Each structure stands twice: as C-alpha cells, then as structure tokens.
Structure 1
Amino acid sequence: MDFRKLKKGDEFAVLMSREMLDGKREQSQLLGVRLRSEGKDYYAIRAEDGKFYDRNGTGLAKGFLRFPTAKQFRISSNFNPRRTNPVTGRVAPHRGVDFAMPQGTPVLSVGDGEVVVAKRSGAAGYYVAIRHGRSYTTRYMHLRKILVKPGQKVKRGDRIALSASIT
C-alpha cells in the first residue's frame, strides 16, 4: 500500500483515536486505514506493538533501516570509487560506508533476510553478509563479535554483531 501512488477514483477511510481533556483535543493516534484501489481493498491496522499489519497479520514495514545501528553515528568514510586509503595512501575503491561508533555498539540487520556469511576475513575483520531476497546482499565489516550463524534467518532490526572500534 503506497499512498504516494494514489490514482483517480481510489478511496480511503481512516480510523483514529482521539483523547479529549476539558473538550479540547489532546492527542490523536492512527489506528487503521482502508484503501480501495481498482475495486480491491487494502488494510493497514495498528497492533499493540505500534506497528502496522494487513488483515492476515503480515507486517507492512518495508524497505531497509537507514542505519545499521539503533542511533545515528558520524560517517567516518563514505562510499567512494576513488578513495585514498588512509593507511596505505593508495587510491582504491571503498565500496562501503564506515561509521564512527564506540566499540561494542550493537550492529543491526537493516532488513529481513538470511545470513550467508559470518566469519573472519582479512582486512574486513569479522564480517557478516545477509541476503535480502533475490536482489540485495548487505555486508557488515570491522566487527568485534558476531552474534549470528550462516543459514540463520534475521528480521529487520535484529542484533547481528557488536562493532569494533572504528573512528
């Protein structure tokens, strides 16, 4: 259900809760939405956990987390096809993004998937790779401790590792 792609003739209904105090609206909360598009109904229903689900109980949170951590940290090295390596001085691609975070920070899977690699690997140090469907694989490197095993299914936001010290 993507409300950014509504078409002429689509209809939707919204269910809200409103708290009132002395006749004044204090707080509102979205409880559910029904979208009718091309004769078919789509539902988003808020559960007790605060997340939205369809009528079959399937979660509606799609896409990836923006960061692989619970809070945002400073980017210490961006993706760069022609980066000068700070250690060797050589120009070589840096095909990832490094974050400056305290050692031992929990690293999270950015999406649902299956762990395909969880091992020590040369310059990457401890490293985890997660396949998300057929199209994407995310890689997490420079880790202090791995918390998952190859073949393990993970959900968006699951703790997969603890970070090493990267500045």
Structure 2
Amino acid sequence: MKKLGLLVMLMLAMTACNDDEKEQAVNEVETKKIPKIEKQYGFILNDFEVIRDTIRSGDSFGYIMDQNGVDHGKVFEVSEKVKDTFNPARITAGKKYMILRAKDSAKTPQYFIYENDKINYTVVSIGDSIYAAKKKRPVTIKQREVSGVITSSLSEAMQAQGLSNLLVYELSNIYQWSIDFFKLQKGDQFKMVYQEKYIDDTIFAGIEKVDAAVFKHSDRPYYAFSYMTDSVSGQPSFYDEEAKALQSFFLKAPLNYSRISSRFTKRRFHPVQKRWKAHLGTDYAAPHGTPIVSTANGTVIASGYTSGNGNYVKVRHNGKYTTQYLHMSKRAVRNGQSVKQGDVIGYVGSTGLATGPHVCYRFWVNGKQVDPFRQNLPSAEHITDNLKDDYLNHIESIRAELDQIPYKSI
C-alpha cells in the first residue's frame, strides 16, 4: 500500500509540473502574439516599415525619395502640391527624418516626416493622397527655481549646478542694459523663477520663459519681472520692482565684441585705401560669424551689397534714428522686414573694404551721421500709470516666491 501511495503522489506531481509547463508555454506564446505598440508623430509605427535617418550634406528631397523607390514624376507632383506648407528645397543637413513604408511586397513609401526642431515637425503624405501638415510634439511646462553664486563667471556658476547654458543667455539678455557681465564680481548672487519645456514629459526642450529674477551685483539687488504691455507683438518685457523698464531704447553695441578697433572720427588713415578720410562709424572687432543684432526696434530699409560696405543692413527706428551695419559675411533680414531689439540681422565678416572680421556700426540722427557714444539717447518706456497698479499686483506673489529662495554663498 505504501508503494502504491508513493506511485500516485509521483504521478500527481508530474501532472502538475506538466500543467505548469503548458501554462508557461501558453503565456509565452500569448506574449509573443501581442507586440508592444509603438506610437510616434501620431502614427502607430507597428503598421509600417520604419526608416529613420538624418539629412546629410548634399542630400535633396528628390534624392532621398529616389533611394526609397519614389519616381521623379511623383516627387515633382508631391513638391508642387505641398510647397506652400513644406519646401523640399529647404531641408537642412543634420535634421532627422523618418519614412513610413507600407508592409507590402513593394514597400511603397506612404509618409515622409521631417523634424524641423525638437518640438515642431512636418508630415508629408506621399501615398495616394498628397498633402503636408505642420505639427507639434506634446510639450509639458514645468516651473523651476534656481539660485547661484559667481565664483569666476556666470556660465561656470550655471554649470556647477548642472543647469542649461540657455539660462546664461536668458539672464544676460534680461540684464544686458543694467549689468556689465564682463565686470561681475566674485560673490555676486542670482535667483530665478522660470519655466522649462519637456517633450513627452521627459525630454528637455529648452526654456519656455523667465517669470522673475534678481541679480545681486556689488551688493545691490536688480529685480526683473516679466510683464506683457504690448498685446500686438505678444512679447513681454522686463521691469523692476518700481515698474521701470530694464531695457534701453538702444543697445550699447550691436554684438558681443572683443574690442573696439576704430571709433567715430572725422580723420582716420584708411587701412585699405591708404589715405586720410573721415570714419563715420564705430568698428567692433569680433570673430567671423558672430551674430550681429539690431540695437533697437525698427524696419529694415536696406539689405544689400556694395563694393565699399560689403554686405550691409540699414534699419530705420523712427523718424529720428537710423542705424547701419557693414561688412557682414551674411545678411539675415530682407528689405521691409520689421525687427525687434536684439534680433539677429546678420553675421560678422570682412566683405567690402575691410582688412579683418568686424562690424562697422553707423548711427544717424535726423539724417546726419553722428557718434552714438556722444548722444543722449532715450530710454525705453516705463509702465504707464494706468497699468502700474495691475503690474504691482501681478508681481506681488512672484516676488514673495523669489525672495523666499535662499541665496547661495561661496
């Protein structure tokens, strides 16, 4: 009887093991039958054969399509139908793209997806229905706080905390009219309340905006609060705790320069023409390709080339003031275009009568060229009385939040 009992127990155990193995095998099969759904750019990628690549130097839309089996006639048809939304001639080397091909024997391309930047992309349908649509990836906004202290430079203070260099640009842009960042002192402190952009809640995509900041330079706190006064442009400006504008009507210089190589003078020996003549501008030496910005809001009244000026841009700011920027390697604006203070209008070069890379900055007052360093230039408009109470109420809570952030110390 004992032997019989042991035999029965052994058979039951073997049956249980077999059942477990069968159940495990069934689960594995079911798992394999249900692939993970992958979604991107609004498509279920599982439904297509996916090709991911990057635009290389010399690539064209036609070449990429040809490599994927799209004939020249279809490429021309697509280019003509989508050119108002997507210009195939302007694809840029370094940009990522994706091609979705049908899962058939011909593997016919159905969609071309071009990444304009981290957030914006363009979908070009190249199947039976031809169209192009500009779209955006989902973006999450997260509010952040930061506090830092200067030991050697602003960029090093940011890097010490693992922060984006974009914050260096933001702070420099806010305080460029009130703080000389070449003369920061060890122990200067700053605090910011700002917003970051994230794609799919995880991928950092840049700074959305700065709400408020305070920079303590030489023991004096410089407050800055973002506030919208121009509903037409939709661009906020920065004002201090007394509703005074931080910016000036004109920037001190049209670029970040290494030195002033030649000032405004009625008599200078020209390095190219080898003769004495007036130099009615200020030369700022800077590396080739350095961005040149408009020193104030205005309208481009000339964007062209002459043998003397090289590539140049001229901007009318109002009925009284006009500025001009000479010897550019490349112009970035067209005639008639509106520009804001700080907008890039070109890049440093040495075109025309120039011996090295620089920009010659010229300044007109009522049609007469003058030395901008000798002018009593207007400052930007402060917040008007009818908006002042609203502004002070607006900054009350954000200033309290800013003041509660502890300063970092060395």
Correspondence for 2:315: 130
Find the counterpart in structure 2 of residue 65 from structure 1.
251
Q: Residue 30 of structure 1 contacts residue 46 of structure 1 at CA under 8 Å; is this kept in 2?
A: no
Instruction: Indicate the residue corresponding to 1:81 in structure 2.
Output: 266
Higher percent of residues as strand: 1
Higher helix share: 2
CA distance in 2, matches of 1:126, 1:161: 9
CA distance in 2, matches of 1:153, 1:96: 23
Higher relative contact order (CA 8 A, sep 6+): 1
Structure 1 residue 30, shift from structure 2 partner: 6.4
CA distance in 2, matches of 1:112, 1:150: 15
Query: Any stretches of 5+ residues in structure 1 without a counterpart?
Result: 1-17, 19-26, 32-44, 54-58
SS of the aligned residue for 2:284 comes to strand
8 Å contact 2:267–2:278 — kept in the other structure?
A: yes
- Check the 8 A contact 2:329/2:347 in 1, yes or no: yes
Considering only aligned residues, what root-mean-square deviation do their CA atoms show, in Å?
A: 3.0
Which of 320, 342, 362 is the matching residue for 1:157? 342
State the match for 1:11 in structure 2. none
CA contact (8 A) 2:304 2:312 kept: yes
Distance 1:60 1:84 in 2: 39
Q: CA offsets, 1:90-142, max 9 Å, x none?
A: 11111111111110000000000000000011211000000011111100000
Q: Structure 1 CA distance, aligned partners of 2:337 and 2:252?
A: 22
Larger radius of gyration: 2
Extract unaligned runs of 5+ from structure 2: 1-190, 192-215, 228-235, 351-355, 358-410
Structure 2 contact 294–339 (Cα < 8 Å) conserved: yes
- Cα distance per residue 1:31-63 (max 9 Å; x no partner): 6xxxxxxxxxxxxx821777129xxxxx77331
C-alpha separation in 2, matches of 1:143 and 1:30: 35
- Would you say the 8 A contact 1:107–1:159 is kept in 2? yes
- 1:73: Cα distance to partner? 2.3
Note if 1:51 corresponds to 2:230: no
Distance 1:89 1:141 in 2: 19
Question: How many pairs were matched up?
Answer: 126
Q: Normalized against structure 2, the TM-score is what?
A: 0.28
1:72 & 1:142 partners in 2: Cα distance?
Answer: 15
Shift of 1:66: 0.4
Q: 2:281 aligns with which of 71, 96, 103?
A: 96
Q: Structure 1-normalised TM-score? A: 0.65
Q: Secondary structure at the match of 1:87?
A: coil
**Percentage of matched positions with identical amino acids:** 37
Superposed displacement of residue 80, structure 1: 1.1
- Looking at structure 2, the residues matched to 88 and 61 of structure 1 have their Cα atoms a distance apart, in angstroms, of 39
